[in-house]
Amino acid sequence: MTAEPLDVLIVEDEALLAEELSFLVREAGLRDVGHAMSSAEAVDLACQLTPDLALVDVHLKDGPTGVDAARLIVEDCGAVVLFMTANVKRLPDDFASACGVIGKPYSEHAVKTALAYLEVCLREGHAPGPPPLGLALAPRFRELWGGGLAETG
């Protein structure tokens, strides 16, 4: 018996990038449950759909509000957030409670490898090894999942 695929919410205001992420999520064996383009829409959908993971851009249709949306998605909706952004320097030291970040531009391989890695972390409660290239874990999640494993990305 195989486990149900993880549910993933995509929070991205560029339609082509959202579709690309949707494809990569499905290619990784996960389930795309919805797309949001603004922070309010992201929080509403996250609380309605209760995804396991939300992929969140920092700059959304309503401005650089992804950080605030991420905090609310984690705190109010209970999802784990991974930032997918070209604005890595805009992230606060605590990563706004997100588990980590993949910087844009990213490769198909980097995203699929990171999703597979995070799936293990979420299902088993620990990392299968160091984070893959391109994925930077937030300090709290490095400690929680990896016991301080060295980052390779």
According to the 3-state scheme, what is the secondary structure of the chain? CCCCCCEEEEECCCHHHHHHHHHHHHHCCCEEEEEECCHHHHHHHHHHHCCCEEEECCCECCECCHHHHHHHHHHHHCCEEEEEECCHHHCCCCHHHCCEEEECCCCHHHHHHHHHHHHHHHHHCCCCCCCCCCEEECHHHHHHHHCCCCCCC
| Position 30 confidence tier, pLDDT thresholds 50, 70, 90 | very high
Average pLDDT over every residue of 115-143: 94
Match domain 7-146 to its CATH number in 3.40.50.2300, 3.40.50.150, 3.40.50.9100, 2.40.50.140: 3.40.50.2300
pTM > 0.95: no
Domain ranges of the chain: 7-146
* Mean per-residue pLDDT over the chain, rounded: 93
| The pLDDT value given to residue 150 | 47
Whole-angstrom Cα distance, residue 7 to residue 53? 6
Residue 41 makes CB contacts below 8 A (sequence gap 6+) with none
Whole-angstrom Cα distance, residue 19 to residue 118? 20
Whole-angstrom Cα distance, residue 93 to residue 47? 25
| The pLDDT value given to residue 146 | 78
Task: Provide the percentage of residues in the chain whose pLDDT is more than 70.
Answer: 94
| The pLDDT value given to residue 3 | 83
Whole-angstrom Cα distance, residue 103 to residue 82? 11
Whole-angstrom Cα distance, residue 50 to residue 60? 20
Given a cut of 90, whether residue 2 has pLDDT beyond it is no
Given a cut of 90, whether residue 13 has pLDDT beyond it is yes
